[in-house]
Amino acid sequence: MTDATLTTVAPSAPPVAAKRPSSVTHHGITVTDDYAWLRDPSYPEVTDATVLAHLEAENAWFEARMAAQQPVIEKLFTEMRGRIKEADKSVPQKDGDWLYWIEYEEGAEYKKWWRRPVGASDDGSADELILDETTLAEGLDYFQLGAISVSKDGRLLAWAVDDNGSERFTARVKVIATGEVLPDEIPGTLSALVWVAGDKALVYSLANENWRTDNARLHWLGQPLASDVELYHEDDEGFRVGSSLSANEQWLIIGASDHETSEVRLIPTDNPLAPPVLIRARQPGVEYDVDERDGTLFIHANDTHENFRLATAPLSAPGEWTTLIEGSDEFYLTGFDLFRDFYVIEGRERGLDHIEIRYYDDPTKIEPIRFPEASYEASVADNPEWATDKLRLSYESMVSPATVYDYHLGEQRLEVLKVQEIPAGYDATLYTTERLEIAARDGTLVPVSVVMRKDRDTLGAAGALHLYGYGAYGIAISPGFSTARLSLVDRGFAYAIAHVRGGDDLGRAWYKAGKREARLNTFNDFVDVAQALIARGLTAPGRISIAGGSAGGELMGAVINSDPGLWGAVVAQVPFVDVLATMLDESLPLTPGEWPEWGNPIEDRAAFELIRSYSPYDNVTAQAYPPLMVTAGLNDPRVTYWEPAKWVAKLRELKVDHHELIFKTHMGAGHGGKSGRFESLRETAEEFAFILWQLDVKP
């Protein structure tokens, strides 16, 4: 199957979906849905000939309308690719007796994973290829590497692959030195692969028939899967289970959580069949995560403050928590990392990333790590060794390419190890970036990150501005660097990120102010940011392109219903637009786990009415809509393909304008679209070409 029907004659009109009325009634309210038939009853298999024919017809219309833009797409793709160093590799990182790194070869879509012994020559003679994604992906339309894990003794490699976008991975194990793939094969995983019991066993989680990880299982190498042991089973269908190792690798950490409650158990890695140690029984609304050092537990929890505290407890009394770092209105404590001689805390202050070193033996000794810019994205990178005197960090800003640092603790010094190379050239002095605070309609100040060329007014884009937003699940959108973004900015666009409520950019309260009963704040913030940028002279109504994916696609759907005249072009990637129907269907993979985020409309009439009031699909009306490009993945388990398909069908039926409405379903991919670094880049080029076309900006 391909992404478009192969026809000799392009279609002359968009497809019209048949109307087959169906209805559901909840709380005495009946909701009619004319396009519910687009959900194949055999899902997750999609075999219904009528459904497939409709999706193929939409793909054919997409290809027909974008045909004239192919030279622009190719031009954009070429320049985007020209900013990527094709033959590139990461900075090697020490882990035990080996240095590990990943490498791309010229023209390759996928990575190779390498290592060499510590102290060996770097001339390539001692390099050892441990996994070749390029070879694994040969002949596949889709390839995604999931978990990858080297055994503690460095002898074995476990990895997992998804070859169709369904996010059900098959795990395998091989002997690194010989390349021998062991007979152990675990299909249907959706988890990390954690080595335990002296590298004799792996801990993993299976996705059940509803794509929910409700288990942690132990597989002994060389034994049949039927003999695998379930270490933990989660009975609450809204919770998901995941496993990891403590920093000192002495404990298996099994966590169960939904979007607002969590529970953690520890099992010694040398005895994975030992009874689990429950840290603290779940309490609704309390989230926590745990690590351990020398018999002391460190707990990152929001039980006393919504912005989290860091507490400690003796392993012998894991539920007795004593505060080490208090929760704070000003500082949002997002996480921590333990090492043998020190620990690291990460967080945000006024939305700005903050990293500091602290010491076990001297609580007063605090070392904040300073960075050179006023607005940036910084994080602790991969630091696998328990005993170390330096810390690997990642850094970037909207004008500064990605940088890898080592922070040397003894000297309190940042060492630059690598700066992202842009072969086509990049001059940061040509650009300007700022962080604005814009008052929403209720007076709340919403942060907005903006980047543009200093000579923007001379580039001929006539006030074009691209506005990006997400605003859900407490996910912050950091002001990072993007080489692809330059293809808009260098044509005169201003590029803005609206840090709307629903993300946790300004702390946990910011997240709560955009979820459930406060959901409308997210949509209002985005519109109010756009209006303010117009008022500041950065753009004008109809000169704004907007984009968002998944829950950000829900945002796109909501704001084109409420304020269609503001937007000149809209890209909605795998958009979560059929919110009411999805939240009413507890058989869908994510629904029970999503109720803490959106509300449960099955049991709660108020939640039903609120979701119905903003769900983009349920609020399409007979009005003019802006030009719209929509994408979906046939195998997407997160936002099922029929959500955007139904939405587009209803828009085609009701909208009263002649603006473009094009819809593409990736017939062999999932939530993330096509795999491969260049194939995914081509999709970005396609989206940007659509934006330039609709805003009439010279390509």
- Catalytic positions are 550, 636, 671
Q: What is the torsion angle, in degrees rounded to the nearest 10, for the CA atoms of residue 508, residue 510, residue 515 and residue 517?
A: 110
Longest Cα separation, the chain: 75
- Give which of 459, 458, 436, 460 is closest to 446, Cα–Cα: 436
- Quote the CA–CA distance of 319 and 280 in Å, as a whole number: 5
**170 in Cβ contact with 189 (< 8 Å):** yes
Per-position DSSP letters for 58-87, written without gaps between them: HHHHHHHHHGGGHHHHHHHHHHHHHTS-SS
In this structure, the chain runs to a length of: 699
Per-position DSSP letters for 294-335, written without gaps between them: TTEEEEEE-SS-TT-EEEEEETTSTT--EEEE---SSEEEEE
The tokens for 380 are 């602790």
The 10 Å Cβ neighbour count of residue 163 is 18
Residue bearing tokens 């954009």: 76
- Would you give the distance in Å from CA 320 to the centre of its chain? 34
The single-letter code of the amino acid at 331 is F
- Quote the CA–CA distance of 628 and 58 in Å, as a whole number: 13
- Quote the CA–CA distance of 319 and 643 in Å, as a whole number: 43
Helices and strands per DSSP (H, E), number in the chain: 12, 39
**Cβ contacts of 599 within 8 Å, gap of 6 or more:** 516, 517, 583, 606, 607, 610, 611
φ, ψ at 326 (rounded to 5°): -70, 150
- Quote the CA–CA distance of 69 and 76 in Å, as a whole number: 11
**386 in Cβ contact with 248 (< 8 Å):** yes
**181 in Cβ contact with 173 (< 8 Å):** yes
Q: Cα separations (Å) of 200 from 156, 194, 651?
A: 10, 11, 56
